[in-house]
Structure 1
Amino acid sequence: MALLTCMVLPVREFCSRLGVSYSSMEAGGMSDLPIRLGLNQSSWMNVSAWLEMHLSDIVIAWLICVALLAVRMGAGLLWIGRYASSRRSKPDLWWQARIDQLSQQFQIHGKVVLRVVDDLNTPLAVGIFRPMILLPGAMLSGMPVELLEMLVAHEMAHIKRHDYLLNLVQSTIEMLLFYHPAVWWISRQIRHDREEIADDLAARVTGEPRRLALALSELANFQFTSPQLAQAAHGGNLMSRIKRLVKPEVSTINWKAAVAILGITTSCLAMYAQVNTPVAATAVKKQVIESTGVANEKNGDKSPIVDFNQCKPEYPKSSLQREEVGVTYVSALVATSGQIIKAKVDRSTGFPDLDNAVIDALENCHVKAVPGQVNGKKSNLWVKVKYVWKLQ
């Protein structure tokens, strides 16, 4: 649930911002966040402006990293598919019969196929709609049958819990949120707990926890190189898993962790209460004006000046043919150098071609605007402008 929350939050934020103008988005509650949190307003505006200027580069870098991780994930899936193919694996009738018996014990209704692979180093559970267990050929001759049977039971537990599918979802979230250290920490913990849960399930169904511990100890003698996408018996920390099976420990409360969690929870509640505390109407108005980067001319600040004579939009031919007219209201972010960094439509004419023509003219204008000033210093500021479309 924690990992899914990490994925849902940015998706929800992205969807909530679709079709929302800059002014309405700022007035919706994010505008006064830096002031409520005690951040320096000019520093916050400079960071926001820098992000606006380099947003496309950040997105491109993120896409490149996601593409590389997707290629890595695809290579892992091809690796698994190659080992599961009939050219690299072969059936074993005796073990297949034992798999069928274990399927009944684990109450798995579908058919679980067993294949033997010569150049594999650890048992694997793969497949979603057609689950399959891959057994290393070396283990058939190098490990006692009763121990290998327990490793197979561990893989049956993964199939029972649909861990292969869940692991693919987990890997996809890791790929999209690769930049977030909390995602990697949560994901590592999930993989560790998943192996322990599969051990508990296999031990409970077979009634042989000590034999499973011996099988894991024997597995440590083999070299294993399976990818994370497959559910392998050697996952997690083998020694800790063996200790759990041989001598289960009663879970005790970690007071240090409890105190840390309590402190974090209290801080979050306090921050939430502070952000949602009602303030006077005049104070809210002032905070919104400052945080959106609009100059307060009553205090002697100067708003940026955008000259449409120098950045005149071209009337779209399609709009001329349809005789479209109206007024486009736009917010433009003007840097200290006079460059128009970004422009957003506040109120549309109702005709997208006319609105897009104004945005393109401002963002691609080669003539610099007059930058605004706050407290006598040039600052990155937003200014509201309008362009009237009319036919003579």
Structure 2
Amino acid sequence: MTHVNFAMTTLLNGIWEGTLLAAAMWLFLKLFPRLNPTTRFTVLWVTLLSVLVLPLGPLTSRVTPAYAPMSTNLPVITAANQLMSVAAAPDTIQHPTASQRHTKAASELHPVAAPKSKPLPLLKQEPAVVETPNTAPRTASPVVTAVPHPLIRIHSASILSALATMWVFLSFVLLARLGFGLLKLRKLKAEAAEVSTEWQLRLEDLSRINDVRRQTQLLVSSRIAAPMSLGFFHPAILIPQALFDTLSDSELEHVVLHELAHLRRRDDWTNLAQKVIEAMLPIQPAIYWVGHQMTIEREMACDDWVIAATGTVERYAASLTRVAELSQWRHAGILAAGATGNRSQLFTRVHHMLDKTRNAAPKLALRPLAAAIAAAGVLIYVGVRTPQMIAFAQNTAHDNSHPQVAALTPLQPLHAAQVQVPVPAHNVVLEQGTQLSALIPESSGQLPPSPLSPLSPGSPESPLAAVAPPAPMTPVASQQSGETHMEMTTRNGMTSLSVKIDGSIEFTDDDSDVKSLSPGGRFRIEDGNLFSARVYDVKADSAGNLTKTYSVGGSVKPLDAEGRAWLARLMPQMIRESGVGAERRVARILRQGGPQAVITEIGLIHSDGSKRIYLEQLFSQATLNIEQLKEAARLIRGISSDGDKAQVLTTVDGKYFTGDLRGNLFDAVQSISSDGDKRRVLSDILNKDAGNIDTLLSVARTAEHISSDGDKAQVLIEMANPYRANGGVAMAYFEAAKSVSSDGDHARVLLAMLAAHGDDHDTLARTLRSAQKISSDGDKARVLKEAVARYSDDEIIRKAFIDAADSISSDGDHQQVLVTLVHRQGLSSTTLGGIAHSAQRISSDGDKARVLVELAGTNVEPVRDDFFAAADSINSDGDHSHVLTVLLDKPGTSSAMAIAAIQSATRISSDGDKSRVLLDAADRYSKDPAVNSALRKAVESVHSDGEYRSVMTEIMRHDQNH
């Protein structure tokens, strides 16, 4: 693992850990509301340091890292190799030696064949030892009890590089900002002038009386707007020249005392440390929240110190307010401590000062502080031992080498480095309901009738235990026409059961023996312990002739009745659970007993992977009647692996989605927990049977229960084309769309529906009402603008559209939607009035004016009252006048509209903007007596003599011309 990888993993996990710690300390402060600001500031400082310490936990305390190399901590089954075994008790599993690998080179060319299913996590019992070859030097790896699986595993190296680059860039920018801040402080201090001797002596007296031991200068500067204290090695207090000349002596003394409080508390150094920590962790939100709270508490602590020194609360608060007003609320600077801060902070501080019930003691409260430190220590201890939620995927302990995956085989002597791995001592569960311990002979030598479940990787959504497999294994079902290469081993104490198959194999009709093997193939089953093992070995020569050998305890003997009984007990379950030869076996059972016999056989299988393979073969080789399909659907529901269950359902032919069976099949779909697998099945059903209304209704209802917004939206988008508005489909579809929490996905669904069926009146109305539920203004506006092309001018559509537009909070998006609708041809006066009424709800004068300017280009005379009500609601005189002049300049504007515009102009405050409207009206409409009269009345509201004269001159000029 590279240093960059380790650093980024540590820092990213520190984000959520720090956020939780900050939230816990916020709750701590809420539980102690009467803590004074000095103590609260110290608690926050402890929190800040704790957030900084948290990411360092993996260096010392995290013993189970999520990025632990799989090759050194867990036995991993690989699809690129050919061997497989499971340890069921404390024992040793070893790799073959190099010579053994060489002799097995031919078989290694084929991948492991096993049914794909969802395994259960391993149980915590006696550990087994997995030995891996010591082929390369390696640093010592700690013995761990588990490898936690992170919630987020980042596999892309480019993401790692981008995150590291962004982190370094942000840190560099913040550190550069700090550097420039330090240079600015030095320059300010160097260019400032000393105050009079009288004030310098007063500063010394204030310092001595209030036990401020730092030697401080009092300086004035014309380059600053607010008082500030500049610290570090030669502290100074800077007062703006304008304030020094304006404030009274008592007000200046309050300011100086406040800055002295900062220096006495060493706030210059703590502020510098705070900014450095922010630069080190630039994307840690907890840092910024804690820093913001520290700024407020720092100022309040200084206020309490000044009030304790002077005993004057009201006068001190008035002084601070006056200084803030004269400073125009400007901030002191990134590394300077100021007396005022921003407006909201000052109001908070004044309210705090005037609260007579508060704790105003300027000293630390030791008991609450000790409790806070103890709480932070406990949270740090717990946090650094919590499994990481984010990790970068690692293939091996050496980042530059290829993955070294441990392939497991039967016992072979080999010296190797040992790593402890937890493996259940008994009852190893590899498939739900399948226990390998049932296959291990008891002391009596009898084999219990339990099935053998092959070990197989989980579906992509269900990784093996806590570690995802390096690559998925190819199931046997995909190799029915080819060869099988598989080796399985289970152990329990001194006994073991192992099965090995190489080549294409076919079993006898009663599943008690091998019927044929491909040339050079081999089948071997071994059961028992070293001294009493039963072995049945079948080999095929180059011509396919079989040689069968049976031995007990190492001695070859004829396959007698006891041996045949042993095979008859063991092999059927092994064949069922492994899925080997399923295609031929299902064909044989169909010939012998029909589909019902195959269904009965599948009911005996416990392995999800094998059950899936047999069901797929059943559907591909037989035609089932209604009752058989119902039983098959029940078997599908019983598959615990979502991946296997989904795979089976996608093989069900569309002809089976009939009224009698549809409910059973959708019950099986509903039982899928994985959103991705459920989406995959529903998409397949839509491809097969989208023409049926009942199928569409069931798909919509099932999609509503998908948790993932992306998967749910994808199903609804695919359903948009075959969608029908009858049979309850419309209600079910839009209920599912409403349940999409993601605004972007919700919008994508509605846009797809508009593109497919936006011309349908009922569908358009439902789409508009659904769009109103979207929270994001941008996504909502995108849907409404697309709906304009399908807009029909009737009451239902109009109301749904305007209601959705009115629900947009963003003025810009609201304006764009209304303008898009205005451009729609053939709008009725009712719709135009609705647009004008909706425009009144826009807060931004500029956006409101844009809507009305576009609306002025239409026939707004029938909705004159709504139009001018919206125009009169514009507070900006410039925007108001612009709307009116656009209306007056439009050809064909009636005298009644001109008079209404002139009357609206009288509400404009600015004489310049008002006169511009009146001049425009005079130039175009003053020959009309009614307009002329309105102009003469309106001009009386102009207060500016110059503007009054220009308007009256224009009116009189037109009177003379006419």
Give SS of 2:238's match: strand
Q: Which amino acid aligns with 1:245?
A: M
- Deviation of residue 32 (structure 1)? 2.4
- CA RMSD of superposed structures (Å): 3.8
Deviations 1:185-229 (A, max 9, x none): 011001110000010011112222222111111122122242121
Asked if structure 2 preserves the Cα contact closer than 8 Å seen for 1:151 and 1:233, the reply is yes
Residue 228 (structure 1) aligns with: 334
Residue 32 (structure 1) aligns with: 147
Residue 303 (structure 2) aligns with: 199
Which TM-score applies when normalising by structure 2?
A: 0.25
For residues 190 and 250 of structure 1, the distance between their equivalents in structure 2, rounded to whole angstroms, comes to 18
Asked if structure 2 preserves the Cα contact closer than 8 Å seen for 1:83 and 1:89, the reply is no
Residue 490 (structure 2) aligns with: none
Give SS of 2:168's match: helix
Q: 1:105 to 1:291 in 2, by over 3 A?
A: farther
- Deviation of residue 96 (structure 1)? 0.9
User: Equivalences for 1:3-152 in 2 at 5 Å?
Assistant: 3-14=48-59, 23=72, 32-34=147-149, 39=151, 47-50=153-156, 54-85=159-190, 87-152=191-256
Q: Which amino acid aligns with 1:62?
A: W
Q: Which amino acid aligns with 2:53?
A: V
- Deviation of residue 54 (structure 1)? 4.0
Asked if structure 2 preserves the Cα contact closer than 8 Å seen for 1:295 and 1:374, the reply is no
- Deviation of residue 75 (structure 1)? 1.4
For residues 176 and 153 of structure 1, the distance between their equivalents in structure 2, rounded to whole angstroms, comes to 33
Asked if structure 1 preserves the Cα contact closer than 8 Å seen for 2:352 and 2:358, the reply is no
Residue 365 (structure 1) aligns with: none
For residues 7 and 225 of structure 1, the distance between their equivalents in structure 2, rounded to whole angstroms, comes to 27
For residues 185 and 104 of structure 1, the distance between their equivalents in structure 2, rounded to whole angstroms, comes to 36
1:2 aligns with 2:47: yes
Residue 380 (structure 1) aligns with: none
Give SS of 2:253's match: helix
Q: 1:153 to 1:48 in 2, by over 3 A?
A: same
For residues 163 and 195 of structure 1, the distance between their equivalents in structure 2, rounded to whole angstroms, comes to 10
Q: Which amino acid aligns with 2:473?
A: N
- Deviation of residue 235 (structure 1)? 2.6
- Deviation of residue 27 (structure 1)? 5.1
Q: 1:375 to 1:209 in 2, by over 3 A?
A: farther
Q: Which amino acid aligns with 1:109?
A: R
Deviations 1:118-173 (A, max 9, x none): 23211111122221101111111211110121111011111110000000000000
Q: 1:374 to 1:241 in 2, by over 3 A?
A: same
Which TM-score applies when normalising by structure 1?
A: 0.59
1:242 aligns with 2:350: yes
Asked if structure 2 preserves the Cα contact closer than 8 Å seen for 1:92 and 1:116, the reply is no
- Deviation of residue 105 (structure 1)? 1.9
Q: Which amino acid aligns with 1:76?
A: G
Q: 1:192 to 1:372 in 2, by over 3 A?
A: closer
Give SS of 1:33's match: coil
Structure of higher RCO (CA pairs closer than 8 Å, 6+ residues apart): 1
For residues 129 and 150 of structure 1, the distance between their equivalents in structure 2, rounded to whole angstroms, comes to 24
Deviations 1:285-315 (A, max 9, x none): xxxx99999756459xxxxxxxxxxxxxxxx
Unpaired runs of at least 5, structure 1: 252-263, 277-288, 300-370, 378-392
Q: Which amino acid aligns with 1:115?
A: L
For residues 154 and 356 of structure 2, the distance between their equivalents in structure 1, rounded to whole angstroms, comes to 53
Asked if structure 1 preserves the Cα contact closer than 8 Å seen for 2:229 and 2:236, the reply is yes
Give SS of 2:233's match: coil
1:189 aligns with one of 286, 293, 318: 293
Give SS of 1:373's match: coil
For residues 130 and 295 of structure 1, the distance between their equivalents in structure 2, rounded to whole angstroms, comes to 63
- Deviation of residue 242 (structure 1)? 1.2
Q: Which amino acid aligns with 2:213?
A: H
Q: 1:298 to 1:12 in 2, by over 3 A?
A: closer
Deviations 1:296-341 (A, max 9, x none): 6459xxxxxxxxxxxxxxxxxxxxxxxxxxxxxxxxxxxxxxxxxx
Give SS of 2:471's match: strand
- Deviation of residue 372 (structure 1)? 5.1
Residue 557 (structure 2) aligns with: none
Asked if structure 2 preserves the Cα contact closer than 8 Å seen for 1:295 and 1:373, the reply is no
Q: Which amino acid aligns with 2:174?
A: L
For residues 386 and 304 of structure 2, the distance between their equivalents in structure 1, rounded to whole angstroms, comes to 45
For residues 113 and 104 of structure 1, the distance between their equivalents in structure 2, rounded to whole angstroms, comes to 14
1:373 aligns with 2:507: no
For residues 336 and 295 of structure 2, the distance between their equivalents in structure 1, rounded to whole angstroms, comes to 11
- Deviation of residue 26 (structure 1)? 8.0
Residue 326 (structure 1) aligns with: none
Asked if structure 2 preserves the Cα contact closer than 8 Å seen for 1:92 and 1:115, the reply is no
Give SS of 2:353's match: helix
For residues 250 and 225 of structure 1, the distance between their equivalents in structure 2, rounded to whole angstroms, comes to 27
Give SS of 2:149's match: helix
Asked if structure 1 preserves the Cα contact closer than 8 Å seen for 2:52 and 2:277, the reply is yes
| Structure 1 range deviating more: 24-33 or 59-68 | 24-33
Q: Which amino acid aligns with 1:110?
A: R
Give SS of 1:34's match: coil
- Deviation of residue 10 (structure 1)? 2.1
Q: 1:129 to 1:26 in 2, by over 3 A?
A: same
Asked if structure 2 preserves the Cα contact closer than 8 Å seen for 1:125 and 1:159, the reply is yes
Q: Which amino acid aligns with 2:472?
A: V
- Deviation of residue 31 (structure 1)? 5.9
Asked if structure 2 preserves the Cα contact closer than 8 Å seen for 1:106 and 1:157, the reply is no
Give SS of 1:122's match: coil
For residues 25 and 64 of structure 1, the distance between their equivalents in structure 2, rounded to whole angstroms, comes to 35
Q: Which amino acid aligns with 2:350?
A: I
For residues 225 and 239 of structure 1, the distance between their equivalents in structure 2, rounded to whole angstroms, comes to 15
Q: 1:122 to 1:49 in 2, by over 3 A?
A: same
Give SS of 1:133's match: strand
Q: 1:145 to 1:170 in 2, by over 3 A?
A: same
Q: 1:34 to 1:153 in 2, by over 3 A?
A: same
Asked if structure 2 preserves the Cα contact closer than 8 Å seen for 1:105 and 1:205, the reply is no
For residues 153 and 110 of structure 1, the distance between their equivalents in structure 2, rounded to whole angstroms, comes to 13
For residues 206 and 25 of structure 1, the distance between their equivalents in structure 2, rounded to whole angstroms, comes to 66
- Deviation of residue 25 (structure 1)? 9.5
- Deviation of residue 240 (structure 1)? 1.4
Q: 1:249 to 1:25 in 2, by over 3 A?
A: farther
Give SS of 1:128's match: coil
Q: Which amino acid aligns with 1:63?
A: V
Deviations 1:222-263 (A, max 9, x none): 222421210011136111111222233447xxxxxxxxxxxx
Question: Over alpha carbons, which structure has the higher Rg?
Answer: 2
Q: 1:57 to 1:250 in 2, by over 3 A?
A: same
Q: Which amino acid aligns with 1:103?
A: S
Asked if structure 1 preserves the Cα contact closer than 8 Å seen for 2:68 and 2:147, the reply is no
Asked if structure 1 preserves the Cα contact closer than 8 Å seen for 2:222 and 2:241, the reply is yes
For residues 130 and 88 of structure 1, the distance between their equivalents in structure 2, rounded to whole angstroms, comes to 14
- Deviation of residue 90 (structure 1)? 3.0
For residues 153 and 72 of structure 1, the distance between their equivalents in structure 2, rounded to whole angstroms, comes to 29
Give SS of 2:155's match: helix
Asked if structure 1 preserves the Cα contact closer than 8 Å seen for 2:192 and 2:219, the reply is no
Residue 216 (structure 1) aligns with: 320
For residues 404 and 154 of structure 2, the distance between their equivalents in structure 1, rounded to whole angstroms, comes to 14
